[in-house]
């Protein structure tokens, strides 16, 4: 499927750049199973000319999987173009999902090369450099991503959107249990008035962000992909995604792990 995979990735990338959507990929390019979806996604760095600076995990809760009608989490590549410094406004132009997802992200300090035996959480933890509060502003190239199916969602880079990574958490985070670590998010309107707050925790990400991280590392290993030092892994939303509008400001307090804020523009 090499030529078809690249053509499909090129089509999706064009729609991503234009901020437009399609109902589905043309039949000749449509992936029939997750392996073909992975193959299309693997072409995104080439067709975009962008480096992969990390990975995301979509659908890390039962509710998230039910919402997009998939049976398992989905990995996606975070491209350099879509990572923004905290404090820099992020545009919602062309974005139809209009949500922000507070997440726990990890940055690797050493490579994790593929191997036959699955890695344990402890082995993966030893390769980490830092923990970061993170925001994803996801999006999809499918007009109705809830019916696109797992293979097409993988092809669409697992709805990977814009990312902001906050400052590294203070020392001592390795000894903390993230499952019940509370995350409190606030959404303000363009005038600075509070619209609403929402609470969540690490349990939303496959029950534990470390479990989600371990799942991703072992899935990539099975695909022959090396997780590189310096890359991030964002482990999925800690709460029901935050509904937002242009002009909103989103602030998330991760307690001992820090805070992060995001200004949204048109």
Q: Tell me, what's the pLDDT at 212?
A: 98
> In the prediction, which pLDDT does 2 show?
74
The two beta strands, 99-108 and 242-243, are: antiparallel
Instruction: Specify the number of domains making up the chain.
Output: 1
Tens of each residue's pLDDT in the chain, 266 residues: 679 999 999 999 999 999 999 999 999 999 999 999 999 999 999 999 999 999 999 999 989 999 999 999 999 999 999 999 999 999 999 999 999 999 999 999 999 999 999 999 999 999 999 999 999 999 999 999 999 999 999 999 999 999 999 999 999 999 999 999 999 999 999 999 999 999 999 999 999 999 999 999 999 999 999 999 999 999 999 999 999 999 999 999 999 999 999 999 99
Instruction: CATH number of the domain at 91, please.
Output: 3.90.850.10
Q: Retrieve residue 180's tokens.
A: 């019940």
Separation of alpha carbons 246 and 90, rounded Å: 9
Provide the sign of the torsion angle of the four alpha carbons 51, 220, 257, 201, taken in this order: positive
The pTM for the full model equals 0.97
The CA-CA-CA angle for residues 107, 111, 113, to 5°, reads 130
Nearest CA among 249, 250, 213 for reference residue 232 = 213
Radius of gyration of the chain (CA): 17
Q: What is the pLDDT of residue 1?
A: 65
Which structural domain, as residue segments, surrounds residue 177? 2-265
Query: Residue 105: what pLDDT?
Result: 98
**Could you tell me if 188 and 195 are in contact, meaning their C-beta atoms sit under 8 angstroms apart?**
yes
**Closest CA relative to residue 22, chosen from 232, 34, 30:** 30
């Amino acid at each position: 499927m090499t030529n078809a995979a690249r053509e499909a990735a090129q089509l999706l990338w064009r729609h991503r750049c234009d901020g437009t959507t399609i109902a589905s990929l043309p039949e000749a390019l449509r992936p029939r199973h997750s392996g073909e979806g992975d193959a299309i996604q693997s072409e995104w760095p080439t067709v975009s000319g962008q480096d992969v600076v990390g990975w995301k995990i979509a659908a890390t809760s039962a509710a998230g999987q039910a919402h997009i009608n998939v049976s398992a989490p989905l990995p996606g590549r975070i491209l350099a173009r879509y990572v923004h410094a905290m404090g820099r406004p992020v545009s919602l132009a062309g974005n139809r999902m209009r949500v922000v997802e507070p997440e726990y992200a990890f940055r690797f300090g050493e490579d994790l090369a593929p191997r036959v035996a699955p890695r344990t959480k402890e082995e993966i933890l030893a390769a980490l450099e830092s923990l970061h509060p993170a925001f994803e502003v996801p999006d999809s190239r499918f007009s109705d991503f809830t019916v696109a199916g797992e293979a097409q969602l993988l092809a669409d880079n697992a709805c990977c959107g814009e990312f902001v990574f906050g400052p590294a958490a203070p020392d001592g985070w390795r000894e903390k249990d993230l499952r019940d670590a509370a995350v409190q998010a606030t959404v303000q309107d363009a005038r600075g008035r509070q619209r609403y707050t929402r609470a969540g925790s690490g349990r939303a990400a496959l029950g534990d962000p470390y479990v989600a991280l371990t799942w991703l590392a072992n899935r990539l290993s099975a695909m022959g992909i090396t997780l590189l030092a310096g890359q991030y892994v964002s482990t999925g939303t800690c709460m029901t995604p935050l509904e937002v509008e242009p002009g909103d400001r989103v602030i998330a307090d991760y307690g001992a792990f820090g805070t992060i804020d995001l200004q949204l523009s048109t």
